[in-house]
Chains A and B, each alone.
Chain A
Amino acid sequence: MESEAAGAPASGEVVNSIRERTISENSLVVLLQGLQGRVTTVDLRDESTAQGRVLSVDAFMNVRLKDVLYQDRRGRRRQLQDLFITGRNVRYVHIPDDVDMMKTIQNQLDKIHRVRSFGSEGRKEFSKKSN
């Protein structure tokens, strides 16, 4: 099973795998990827919840959270420094009120397209526009 990119780039940057980028840009997972750095609550399939800061979300909806308040389905709460949730186990993601969805999606798509055109033209310093 595809796991999240082991060499996950710093916040704000796109994953390197072309396959993952293509999967992402063709689904709503791009919105979740744009939530990087935000605090959200993920409701899992098994009725537990995890509230924490999004470190990364990959094309398969695998989520990494940090500084998490995890509540299991019995209601017991635990603090976790780092939590990895498999995409299949996600039921809902609560989107913070102040997220502009269209903008977030567009920004993520722009990042994906920027990386793509940069890569195919070879290395160029300060390449701001394509030829």
Chain B
Amino acid sequence: TVMQPPTNTVEEPLDLIRLSLDERIYVKMRNDRELRGRLHAYDQHLNMILGDVEETVTTVEIDEETYEELYKSTKRNIPMLFVRGDGVVLVAPPLRVG
């Protein structure tokens, strides 16, 4: 069932996510979204529960005259979020800037 006593060895890729439980993680999602939050729970579908989440949505606009690519990102904060696994692309420790 969902709540199982943890094993200590890393046997499969999902075990790597287990190592990040209760840690802050970075999640890349489909549709140019990223999440940064604390991983409280996950399952085999990569459904996840994240706490203290910051969602970043990135859009690209093309300037009509200069054809420049303008990257815009919108952020919002959500205290506790259930994420459906089929939107998840990758899970990683938080990216460090600089």
Contacts and interface: CB of A to CB of B under 8 A. Distances in A.
Interface of A: 25-32, 45, 61, 87-88, 90-97, 99, 101-102, 105-106, 109
A32 B82 contact: yes
Given A91-B84, A92-B84, A109 B1 contact: yes
Interface of B: 1-3, 40-45, 47-49, 78-84, 86-87
Contacts of B81: 92-95
B2 A109 contact: yes
Contacts, number: 67
Contacts of A31: 41, 49, 82
Given A94-B78, A97-B80, A26 B87 contact: no
B2 A26 contact: yes
A97 B49 contact: no
Contacts of A32: 82
Contact of B86 (A27, A88, A92): A88
Interface centre among A25, A61, A87 (most CB of B within 10 A): A61
A28 B47 contact: yes
Contacts of A61: 84
A70 B78 CA distance: 19
Contacts of A88: 86
Nearest to B41: A28
Contacts of B1: 25-26, 109
Contacts of A29: 47
A106 B3 contact: yes
